[in-house]
């Protein structure tokens, strides 16, 4: 057993999942002893559980991991996508008795406890995944009681009262309060040691992941991160060579109401704009398109996307429960990418303006480098715009 470290969990304490239809699944608990209510979803990734848990896009969601061995490599201080776990809770099939990895700082149970997050294990995650696939996303409550059990009726009522993710602006809860700059690159051995940060990119933070910022640094871009509610004047005062619209949680229409007027001004100014995930959806709204709730959403790191420009297929990482409705595109918008799972929109660009966006996460690298060209495209767009001015 050399190299294996015992994971600290106790399998005698009760936890439960309650679905919005009243169905109850009993299991065991890890992490914090508490109750949460959120949207139940599933993630099909076989690796990267720490990155998923700390992705702000998972706010108010309970993640069911379809891969059974979550926690086997422990957790570490380098694979965080933000400062904490943003998912409300998670569900795993089997508890890890040991974790083993040379980079591990701690076990996953300690990670949950430190972040005040409950986890349920010992339930059939295949059943939950099939149910969500067939019936769509569901509201749910997850409760880790510990030794003390209590009535579930009050929580059933709370589930019914909760409105769900539609019309919910969650990005405002995860966006940075203070402006800051980023100066760290990726962990690649080929990382640029003498990065001069030739161009400035102002990032509107809807729930930005740190690996996006690392990739910008690798492409000689200097990111400045602002709160999503920043005014046009505040954004322009950063002297941006480009604007980035980040990923994030919640309903894009609800979030866009704060920023859409500002974004339209930035589009008119013809500053290069690049958006991903929620940023893609909000950019689409600013260009006159519409968004809608998906039946079950896309969450995982094995999603095939077809690039309609070159007919190549990219294996992508995704996490979204809303989509852009291509039927609402104006004649000025060109669809650039589509999902090969369900045919939904995955990207666009404007015919005449320097703006483009994708629905997936090019920084997550499941391909592993299938989508890195998007950072290069953004850099080239900025360079072209800078030469004109």
Do residues 141 and 184 both lie within one domain? no
Q: Which residues are CB-neighbours of 155 under 8 A, at least 6 positions away?
A: 18, 35, 37, 141, 143
Whole-number Cα distances in Å, 34 to 31, 90, 154, 284: 9, 13, 14, 38
Question: Is pLDDT above 90 for 151?
Answer: no
pLDDT-derived band at 196, boundaries 50, 70, 90: low
Helix (H, G, I), strand (E, B) or coil at 22: coil
pLDDT-derived band at 31, boundaries 50, 70, 90: very high
Parallel, antiparallel, or unpaired: how do β-strands 118-121 and 24-31 relate?
antiparallel
Question: Is pLDDT above 70 for 1?
Answer: no
Mean pLDDT computed over every residue of the chain: 92
Q: Which of these three, 134, 161, 188, is where a domain ends?
A: 161
Contact 63, 92 (CB under 8 A): no
pLDDT tens profile 327-349: 999 999 999 999 999 999 999 99
Do residues 157 and 176 both lie within one domain? no
Domain count along the chain = 2
pLDDT tens profile 65-98: 999 999 999 999 988 999 999 999 999 999 888 8
pLDDT tens profile 258-287: 899 999 999 999 999 999 999 999 999 999
**pLDDT at residue 57 in the model:** 96
**pLDDT at residue 88 in the model:** 97
Parallel, antiparallel, or unpaired: how do β-strands 333-339 and 290-307 relate?
antiparallel
Parallel, antiparallel, or unpaired: how do β-strands 273-276 and 355-358 relate?
parallel
Among 39, 314, 323, 363, the one annotated catalytic? 363
Helix (H, G, I), strand (E, B) or coil at 239: coil
**pLDDT at residue 252 in the model:** 97
Do residues 68 and 188 both lie within one domain? no
Do residues 131 and 196 both lie within one domain? no
Q: Which of these three, 161, 189, 209, is where a domain ends?
A: 161
Segments in the chain forming alpha helices (H): 49-53, 108-115, 125-135, 153-161, 171-174, 210-218, 232-236, 252-268, 278-286, 373-388
Do residues 300 and 378 both lie within one domain? yes
Q: Has residue 166 been placed in a domain?
A: no
Q: How far apart are CA 243 and CA 386, in angstroms?
A: 13
**pLDDT at residue 212 in the model:** 95
Q: How far apart are CA 101 and CA 106, in angstroms?
A: 10
Lowest-confidence pick of 123-127, 247-251, 360-364: 360-364
Average pLDDT, integer, range 43-61: 95
Q: pTM, whole model, 2 decimals?
A: 0.93
pLDDT-derived band at 193, boundaries 50, 70, 90: very low
Contact 28, 11 (CB under 8 A): yes
Contact 36, 120 (CB under 8 A): no
Q: How far apart are CA 176 and CA 211, in angstroms?
A: 16
Q: Which residues are CB-neighbours of 194 under 8 A, at least 6 positions away?
A: none
Question: Is pLDDT above 80 for 11?
Answer: no
For the chain, the maximum distance between any two Cα atoms, rounded to a whole number of angstroms, is 68
**pLDDT at residue 2 in the model:** 45
Among 217, 277, 303, 320, the one annotated catalytic? 277
Q: Is 277 a catalytic residue?
A: yes
pLDDT tens profile 360-372: 999 987 778 899 9
Do residues 197 and 146 both lie within one domain? no
Lowest-confidence pick of 195-209, 227-241, 246-260, 272-286: 195-209
**pLDDT at residue 14 in the model:** 81
Q: What is the span of the domain harbouring residue 309?
A: 171-388
Lowest-confidence pick of 135-149, 162-176, 181-195, 209-223: 181-195
Question: Is pLDDT above 70 for 3?
Answer: no
Q: Has residue 302 been placed in a domain?
A: yes
User: How many CB atoms lie under 10 A from the CB of residue 153?
Assistant: 9
The more confident residue out of 310 and 4 is 310
Contact 64, 125 (CB under 8 A): yes
Question: Is pLDDT above 90 for 61?
Answer: yes
Instruction: Residue 365: give its domain's CATH number.
Output: 3.40.50.880
Do residues 106 and 254 both lie within one domain? no
Do residues 216 and 138 both lie within one domain? no
Q: Which of these three, 108, 130, 161, is where a domain ends?
A: 161
- Looking at residue 83, the DSSP 8-state letter turns out to be S
**pLDDT at residue 189 in the model:** 45
Among 9, 303, 337, 361, the one annotated catalytic? 361
Instruction: Residue 77: give its domain's CATH number.
Output: 3.50.30.20
The more confident residue out of 235 and 147 is 235
pLDDT-derived band at 146, boundaries 50, 70, 90: low
């Amino acid at each position: 057993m050399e190299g294996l470290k015992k994971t600290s969990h106790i399998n005698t304490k009760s936890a439960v999942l309650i679905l919005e239809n009243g169905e109850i699944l009993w299991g065991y608990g890890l992490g914090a002893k508490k109750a949460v209510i959120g949207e139940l979803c599933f993630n099909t990734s076989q690796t990267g559980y720490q990155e998923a848990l700390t992705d702000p896009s998972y706010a108010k969601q309970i993640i069911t991991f379809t891969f059974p061995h979550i926690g086997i490599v422990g957790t570490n201080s380098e694979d965080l996508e933000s400062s904490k776990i943003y998912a409300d809770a998670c569900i795993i099939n089997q508890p890890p008795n040991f974790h083993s990895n040379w980079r591990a700082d701690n076990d996953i149970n300690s990670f949950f406890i430190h972040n005040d997050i409950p986890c349920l294990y010992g339930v059939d995650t295949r059943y939950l995944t099939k149910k969500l696939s067939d019936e769509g996303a569901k509201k749910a409550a997850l409760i880790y009681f510990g030794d003390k059990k209590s009535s579930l009726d009050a929580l059933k009522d709370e589930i019914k009262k909760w409105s769900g993710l539609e019309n919910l602006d969650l990005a405002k809860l995860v966006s940075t309060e203070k402006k800051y700059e980023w100066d760290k690159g990726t962990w690649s051995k080929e990382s640029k040691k003498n990065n001069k940060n030739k161009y400035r990119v102002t990032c509107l933070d809807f729930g930005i992941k740190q690996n996006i910022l690392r990739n910008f640094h690798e492409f000689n871009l200097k990111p400045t991160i602002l709160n999503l509610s920043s005014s046009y004047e505040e954004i322009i005062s950063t002297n941006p060579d480009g604007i980035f619209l980040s990923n994030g949680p919640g309903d894009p229409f609800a979030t866009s109401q704060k920023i859409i007027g500002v974004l339209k001004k930035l589009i008119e100014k013809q500053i290069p704009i690049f958006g991903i995930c929620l940023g893609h959806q909000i950019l689409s709204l600013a260009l006159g398109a519409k968004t809608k709730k998906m039946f079950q959403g896309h969450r995982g790191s094995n999603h095939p996307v077809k690039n309609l420009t070159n007919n190549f297929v990219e294996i992508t990482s995704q996490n979204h429960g809303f989509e852009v409705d291509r039927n609402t595109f104006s004649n000025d918008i060109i669809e650039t990418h589509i999902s090969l799972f369900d045919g939904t929109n995955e990207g666009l660009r404007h015919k005449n303006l320097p703006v483009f966006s994708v629905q997936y996460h090019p920084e997550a690298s499941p391909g592993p480098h299938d989508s890195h060209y998007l950072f290069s495209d953004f850099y080239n767009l900025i360079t072209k715009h800078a030469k004109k001015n």
